[in-house]
Structure 1
Amino acid sequence: MTENSELRIAVIGAGPAGVYSSDIFLRQLRKIGGDMGLGDKARIDLFEKLPVPFGLVRYGVAPDHPSIKFIADALEKTLDNPDIHLYCDVEFGRDLTLEDLLERYDAVLFATGAVEDKPLPIPGTELEGVYGAARFVEWYDGYPTGARQWPLDAESVAVIGGGNVAMDVARELMRDADDLKSRTDIPDNVYEGIKANKARELHLLIRRGVAQAKFSVQELRELEKLPGVQLIIDEDDFDLDDETVEAAGRDKLTRQMVEELFAIREMAEDMEDDGDVDFEGNPADRKYFLHFNTAPVEIVGKDGAVCAIRVERTVTRADGTMTRTGEFRDIPVQAVYHAVGYKPAAAPGIAYDGRRTTLANSEGRILTEASENGSVRPRLYSTGWAKRGPVGLIGSTKSDALAIVTHMLEDLAAAADGGRIAPDRDPESVDRLLADRGVTPIDFAGWKRIDAFERSEGAREGREHKKVIDPDRMRELARS
């Protein structure tokens, strides 16, 4: 094989799904590529529309998750690989087309994430004070094109959702700003915003029961350690029948979640018995209500703004079937946040499956259309949320990556010329193309310069890290 005969793979998206897939592709190629007639060499070019990598880890998860630093460190080690070339600040569909990529790469893998909320299907969402979780997460995570200020003047707020994003949003709305700053990389605008937050009462609304929630145990343990916050539960929510307890016990993660929720119930009782205190026994100035079997049915407004949320009591059976009781009540609030799911991004030139909210695919192979008439489009693949929708934890992307890499290797092995399909095999071709279009990518070295600056800024304040949020500042640091 000649010097430029390695397989050439383009990956769109430098979040966990894209980085894990790149790493697994190289590992699997070294392991079985020779036996498959593919050789063991590949160059992977990883394209990211933002000026920095890591996607969901940096911009989609609450800053106070202790595990995030370890995930980011692992992703960075993967990127520090001479066979993986990072191209940040390069947007697919704007700076590069699908035709550009197919000319230069043997396969293209879409690992794009999600940037939009699924709509909340109840009346009143047009009122002032109703927010989707995605935009709020962008604000507190310092997303480069996100809001720089956030209205936090509501004294009572509701958060709708029974998953980890809802839990993240609720926790940040109840956070002590100084405690958050000391533990995380939040920028100054987020610190000042949370410090001025007027919320003193929060209602987390979960449609189904205790045994059907989708919280991780880690999320629940973080809920248990909020300074100045009293947790309040409804005893009736924890009156589980034997069938429900038995069903929950069959799945390890569900069983652990339910056990942790019962620990929270005991904690909430102790907080009340000790005089409305927080987890350390200090007087609480904020109250956090967990409402299970509570379905929002309407956001109530006055003068165009939120004044309450109307909810209906539900009953959830052991199999997760939910029925409504016709029992309604209004909870006075001035703001409503909904975290009922994300909608993964579309990709120009790729069919979108609106029902599943994914790129149209069959087991990760991109299809011509999102229907039973869709046929596989050669050399195009998807992984992560682009493949399966916005479900699962970050770790779920690893199993996705292995499955799709297996398909890619099988397809490349079945192709002519040992999978060397792209006609333009010059590894510098894409660099020239981008330069001709006036696009200056940020590479791994550029990212390291941004990271070094963020660490130095954090050190000034006794913190490990402090995020830069202005994209132009990032570009300036990367190219300095």
Structure 2
Amino acid sequence: MSENNSNQLRIAVVGAGPAGVYSSDIFLRELKKKGESLRLPDNARIDLFEKLPVPFGLVRYGVAPDHPAIKFIADALEKTLDNPDIHLYCDVELGRDLDLDDLMERYDAVLFATGAVADKPLTIAGSDLEGVYGAARFVEWYDGYPTGARTWPLEAETVAVIGGGNVAMDVSRELVRNADDLKVRTDIPDNVYEGIKENKARELHLFVRRGVAQAKFSVQELRELEKLPGVQIIINEDDFELDEETVEQAGSDKLTRQMVEELFVIRDMAEDMEDGGGVDFEGNPATKKYYIHFNSAPTEVLGEDGEVVGLHVERTETSADGVMRHTGEFTNYPVQAVYHAIGYKPASVPGVAYDEQRHVLANEGGRILAEPAFTAETGTSTVRPRLYATGWAKRGPVGLIGSTKSDALLIVGNMLEDLANAEVADGESGAKGCIAPDRDPESIDRLLAERGVKPIDFAGWKKIDAYERAEGAKEGREHKKVIDPSQMRELALG
């Protein structure tokens, strides 16, 4: 083992989605800028572990396939991974193939960027009826998640979606999508195309609990709503009667102001669609109706014989500061399926405390805690050295993909500061920050081989990607997603 390797920082990142990849890149960049002043080694090896056979997490499996910007984000992430100082280990799961002690033995710091894969539960009456679905599972289906469903029940003619954020908008859009249009524009696999082609939904109701100015849609999401072939958008004009205080409050934040302005564009579009006799954005006769209900809080899913037959919704009022008031005015909407997109719950990590109140790994400024602060007798909790969290694992499922960069910059700064102040493994010969006892960079490969684990590296991912592009080209598409994990392994390792 060379002296260069022994004096090289070694960092493990768990999760190869945007948060993990951005953090890896930022760590290397910040080390070059600050390493000398902190008296740290000038280089580092980052091993990036991903439980799925392929990288990119949320970009590949958490965002609707018809987002045009996703391609550019994926390309940027791939360029980052094509770095000799970053080593990709896909199809390696913490808690199955490795445990936390394995990582602590071999890495100076461990950063969790594990994202979110589960829905926050819908807690209203009737949420256990057949025909009530969490958005996460539906997204897994239409994004071809390796362990997700391969078929999806799309028998309901009238569908409700609950939520006021981008996931609710994604789910709603895919439920009224034209299958052929979606296939031409995206990388959806055959099973998703066939499923959407047979979708019987003709009427969709999106329910947002608060008002127009309190929704959490991005402008890009709204603009994609404006271009749905065969879909008439229908709104309640009363929802757009905003008082001066609400307008002033919304205008004080740039993103909120832009969102509200775009919602008013949609209001005008909806009026034109109605005046045209029920047409889509191009003036063609609409075959589907998309209702947007603001200030509408579902209070119960109605059922008969264990199946969804309706949704009981209360009218609300929302003040300029976002406080919602119940009015006691109720309406029943006949629907046969209900999708809830009210938030994701970030994944837990074996051996790491979980904060059930905030739905995050227990952390303070990204530093992992021994236990959630609210459960500690003193009201605080001690920091566990060398363990960190970033992205949704740190802050919960809020913010756009790009916001993970600023998050990563903060966490990386903390990591470098802590490494500079830590005791080294060998006080006589070890470099500053080199804390892990096992300094052999090949140690992790031997351990995985001994356990019969065959990781998919960056070269393996490129083989999968090349196959997907070749399959897409046969149909005049840029890409066609592989969804079978066994096929992914065969392509990458065979």
2:412 maps to which of 405, 421, 427: 405
Structure 2: which amino acid aligns with 1:305?
A: E
Q: Distance in 1 between matches of 2:95 and 2:49?
A: 11
Q: Which residue of 2 aligns with 1:2?
A: 3
Q: Residue 163 of structure 1 aligns to which amino acid in structure 2? A: G
1:42-441 matches, within 5 Å, as: 42-371=44-373, 372-417=379-424, 418-441=432-455
CA distance in structure 2 between the aligned counterparts of 1:374 and 1:63, rounded to whole angstroms? 41
Match of 1:37 among 36, 39, 46: 39
Residue-by-residue CA offset, 1:157-194 (whole Å, 9 max, x unaligned): 00000000000000000000000000000000000000
Give the % identical residues: 78
What is the distance in 1 between the residues matched to 2:395 and 2:412? 15
Output the CA distance in 2 between the equivalents of 1:378 and 1:292: 46
Instruction: Identify the residue that residue 458 of structure 1 maps to in structure 2.
Output: 472
Please give the alpha-carbon distance, in whole angstroms, between the structure 2 residues aligned to 1:317 and 1:3. 61
The C-alpha deviation readout for 1:17-74, integer Å capped at 9, x for no partner, is: 0000000000000111011110210000000000000000000000000000000000
Amino acid at match of 1:470: D
SS in 2 for 1:57: helix
Following superposition, the deviation at residue 3 of structure 1 comes to 2.4
SS in 2 for 1:419: coil
- Match of 2:407, SS state, is helix
Query: What is the distance in 1 between the residues matched to 2:76 and 2:380?
Result: 40
> Which whole-Å CA distance do the structure 2 matches of 1:343 and 1:28 have between them?
30
Q: Which amino acid is the alignment partner of residue 427 of structure 1?
A: P
- After superposition, give the CA deviation of every residue in 1:422-443 in whole Å (9 maximum; x if it has no partner): 0101000000000000000000
Q: Which deviates further from its counterpart, 2-11 or 172-181? A: 2-11
Paired letter, 2:391: G
Question: Which residue does 2:487 correspond to in 1?
Answer: 473
C-alpha separation in 1, matches of 2:423 and 2:330: 65
Q: Distance in 2 between matches of 1:310 and 1:416?
A: 60
| Structure 2 counterpart of 1:3, one-letter code | N
- Give a deviation string over 1:293-323, Cα, whole Å, max 9, x none: 0000000001110000000000001010100
Deviation at 1:408, TM superposition (A): 0.2
2-structure distance, mates of 1:280, 1:202: 20
What SS class does the counterpart of residue 131 from structure 1 fall into?
Answer: strand
Q: Distance in 1 between matches of 2:242 and 2:43?
A: 56
Q: List runs of 5+ in structure 1 lacking aligned partners.
A: none
| Distance across 1 between alignment mates of 2:323 and 2:244 | 16
TM-superposed deviation, 1:373: 3.3
**Cα distance in 1 between the residues matched to 2:295 and 2:305:** 30
* TM-score when normalising by structure 2: 0.97
Instruction: Give the Cα separation in 2 of the matches to 1:254 and 1:443.
Output: 41
User: Which residue in 2 is equivalent to 1:444?
Assistant: 458
**Aligned residue type for 2:105:** E
Q: Deviations over 1:197-251 (max 9, x none)?
A: 0000000000000000000000000000000000000010001111111110000
State the Cα distance separating 1:479 from its structure 2 match. 1.0
Aligned-pair Cα RMSD in Å: 0.6
**Cα displacement (A) at 1:330:** 0.3
Q: How many positions carry a matched residue from both structures? A: 480
Structure 2 unmatched ranges of 5 or more: 374-378, 425-431
The reply on whether 1:21 has 2:23 as its aligned counterpart is: yes
Q: Secondary structure at the match of 2:4?
A: coil
- Distance in 2 (CA, whole Å) between partners of 1:34 and 1:455 is 43
Aligned to 2:429: none
Task: Tell me the distance in 1 between the aligned counterparts of 2:36 and 2:462.
Answer: 34
Amino acid at match of 2:89: Y
The amino acid of 1:426's aligned partner reads: D
TM-score, normalized by length of structure 1?
0.99
CA positional deviation for 1:416: 2.5
2-side partners of 1:107 and 1:253: how far apart? 36
CA distance in 2, matches of 1:163, 1:93: 32
* 1:395-419 Cα shifts (integer Å, max 9, x gaps): 1100010000000000000013401
Q: CA deviation at 1:93?
A: 1.1
SS in 2 for 1:3: helix
